[in-house]
Chain A
Amino acid sequence: MTEVSYLEHGHSLKSWLLTTDHKRIAILYFLSITFFFFVGGAAAALIRIDLLTPEADLMSNEGYNRAFTLHGVIMVWFFLIPSIPNTFGNFLVPLMIGARDLAFPRLNLLSWYIYMLGGLFTLAVLVLGGVDTGWTFYTPLSSMFANGNVILAATAIFVVGFSSILTGLNFIVTVHRLRCPGMTWGRLPLFVWSIYATSLILVLATPVLSITLVLIAAERLFGVGVFNPALGGDPLLYQHLFWFYSHPAVYIMVLPALGVISELVTAAARKPVFGYRFVAGSSIAIAIIGFLVWGHHMFVAGQSMYASAVFSFLSLAVAVPSGIKVYNWTATLYKGHIALDPPFLFAMSFIGLFVVGGMTGLILAMLAVDVHVHDTYFVIAHFHYIMVGGTVSAYFGALHYWWPKMMGRWLPLVWGRLSAIFIFLGFNLTFFPQFILGYLGMPRRYHVYPAEFQTLHVLSSAGASVLGLAYLLPFTYLLYSLRHGEKAPPNPWGATGLEWTVPSPPPQHNFHELPTVDGPPYQYPVEPDAERETAHG
């Protein structure tokens, strides 16, 4: 008996827009998130073109402020935060734990509509002329001086926050309640562990951002002045509230990527993951410690010295669980039978860039050094190594690894390898010069700069053009594969995990009969279903 796949089950627009199937909702997210990725990327392109010369020749000061604000807002809230959880989390969590759907399928669809509503608000901000506060909305700039569409932008982020909360809630309940028989906590795939840890942050941190944005809007609308220093209010209080959300949000963005890499590395090494418990536990540890480090954003903002010392220590402490992951991946690869497939190249690229991003994070976490590089391009380079080098590489790695499962088609492996390499090279050329720029004193958010910085800026912009093209590349051959790719078997990579036991693409209700798990995860080696043809590399 052949079951109808989720892609074949209804072709009308309505069957997509009113679906409660987690797999179809994942595709809806994938399409909308890809759209915002390119909108945010266009803003980045404008920034990098303007920075080619020391003068302001492409944009006005105001226009430049709006470009980087929009880049930040769109990339953080409309791409990075929903990227891996809402697409791959949605698609994979029920499959990986042996469930037919998430715990609240209709709520899942509602989350997507809320996301789209927030997205429409953001596009309205864009059309109406943008917002110029930076993605951080610092007061009193945002509350008293900014003349962009601050309230509309705050509304967009407030709305999309509900989407985050509802998605996180759905994942937590799903993992608790819908695991199939035998799928104990100690047998959960590491990707599920990381999505679970992410969801905890989504549920507990996002509302703090919501209330902070409400206070900003109330200040602009009604003169509510709790952040207004002229009334005795405290702008630093704003920064505390904002970073109480936004630092954990960094872990919202990177934890799912860490989970992806754990899957990719074990599948590539064809060995059981080294130190399963530590890798799983480190996700939870990162989520918990991540809540306690927000003060490192205010080392030079007049925060108490003693608070800064504690925040500095805690920020260094996050490196421990992060390091555990990197060492465990390395140990997993040791003596593995490694296949140089595209997902593995993306994973390797992730590990390298994540280590550089993490190590420079340690430099920033140290009080004395931070004073020197605070608000410079060093910081920009650091978080782009984590967010773009890390998370976006993992996103593309996940896309290549699970594409045959999601679409039922092989992708051209040679092109996959090439794009992994181009992305890696383009990324480093873009962002490595920014470490040097920052260390030499180039501040962030300026588009007019001393002539001696031009060489490094030109290098960075050249890298950005390579990176931009490299990001376009996968979308061309992935689209091509939809029509011309060979049909993928259920388990093309020879990987463990319940998602590989069902046909590709999976049937509408995932499992004909709910599976039973009777052993630990990652029991490698597993033979791939079909011998791969040389045509695919």
Chain B
Amino acid sequence: MADAAPSRQRDTTLMGMYLFLASEIMLFGGLFAVALALRLLHPQEVAAASRRLHYGIGAANTVVLLTSSLAVALAVAAAEMGKVKGTVVSLLAAAGLGLGFLALKAVEYGMEIREQLLPAFTPAEAFESPPAHLFMDLYLVATALHAVHVTVGVVLLAGLAWRVHRRSLALPRGAAGVEVVGLYWHLVDVIWVFLYPILYLVR
């Protein structure tokens, strides 16, 4: 019975997180629906606008985010084995890579502002066509919303590393806490894996 209680607690927490992630998928699902609508309404103009995005930076960011997911997976494994140092290092690595993602994204936004591509920083007349404007609107909302999620994730990962370091989250008993944040981070990653081709690659 003593063993069963924490594992029951773990399953309960994980189920709650999975449901929350389902709601996150529906949140981004609305944006994917908008992306589909734009592609159907204005196929040529949207493809032309998509070609002007910096897919190299996007690809680099995909690698960064996937690597950070690996680090989180390692943190979960280390936490389950009760290795405090390994958990902290992996969590910090993941948070650092998350910051790297945000930095690259900022550089990319900067380039787009200079190239007069980013709505809110660019007059409407500067866009190739009205649908190109719409596509960049979608790009801005989708990537900004994703960046907000990355930022939340970085804070969660860093906070978790701090709690594990200070032993306020005891391992391996508190491994479920690491696992739950890990799940969130994986979802942030997965959403990018869909956003990247939909925005940058489909032409």
Measured between beta carbons, the chain B residues less than 8 angstroms from A206 are 23, 26
* In contact, B27 and A208 (Cβ under 8 angstroms): yes
Measured between beta carbons, the chain B residues less than 8 angstroms from A212 are 30
Q: Is A63 an interface residue (CB 8 A)?
A: no
Of B20, B26, B141, which contacts A224 at CB under 8 A? B141
The number of chain A residues touching the other chain, given as a range, is 35 or more
Which stretch (A122-130, A215-223, A505-513) binds chain B? Answer: A215-223
Of B22, B24, B29, B38, which contacts A226 at CB under 8 A? B38
Chain B residues 11-33 with CB under 8 Å of chain A are 11-12, 15-16, 19-20, 22-24, 26-31, 33
Q: Is B137 an interface residue (CB 8 A)?
A: yes
* In contact, B23 and A207 (Cβ under 8 angstroms): yes
Contacts across chains A and B counted by CB atoms under 8 Å? 104
* In contact, A222 and B120 (Cβ under 8 angstroms): yes
Contact with B along A311-323 (1 / 0, CB 8 A): 0000000000000
* In contact, A173 and B12 (Cβ under 8 angstroms): yes
Measured between beta carbons, the chain B residues less than 8 angstroms from A39 are none
Closest A residue, CB atoms, query B28: A211
* In contact, B137 and A226 (Cβ under 8 angstroms): yes
Which stretch (A232-240, A268-276, A349-357, A435-443) binds chain B? Answer: A232-240
Of A107, A177, A222, A241, which contacts B8 at CB under 8 A? A177
* In contact, B26 and A204 (Cβ under 8 angstroms): yes
* In contact, B130 and A232 (Cβ under 8 angstroms): yes
B interface: dominant SS: helix
Bound form: Cα–Cα A241–B130 in Å: 22
Q: Is B37 an interface residue (CB 8 A)?
A: yes
* In contact, A214 and B141 (Cβ under 8 angstroms): yes
Q: Is A283 an interface residue (CB 8 A)?
A: no
Known: A177-B8, A211-B31. A234 touches B15 (CB 8 A): no
* In contact, B42 and A232 (Cβ under 8 angstroms): yes
Of B16, B20, B137, which contacts A103 at CB under 8 A? B16
Closest A residue, CB atoms, query B124: A223
* In contact, B30 and A203 (Cβ under 8 angstroms): no
Measured between beta carbons, the chain B residues less than 8 angstroms from A233 are 134
Bound form: Cα–Cα A203–B19 in Å: 7
**Would you mind naming 6 contact pairs between A and B with Cβ atoms under 8 Å apart?**
A204-B23, A204-B26, A206-B26, A214-B145, A226-B134, A241-B33
Apart from the given pairs A211-B27, A214-B141, A240-B33, 6 other A-B contacts in the complex at a CB distance below 8 Å: A169-B16, A172-B19, A177-B8, A208-B29, A232-B131, A244-B30
> 6 closest A-B pairs (Cβ-Cβ)?
A211-B30, A207-B27, A222-B120, A224-B137, A207-B26, A231-B130
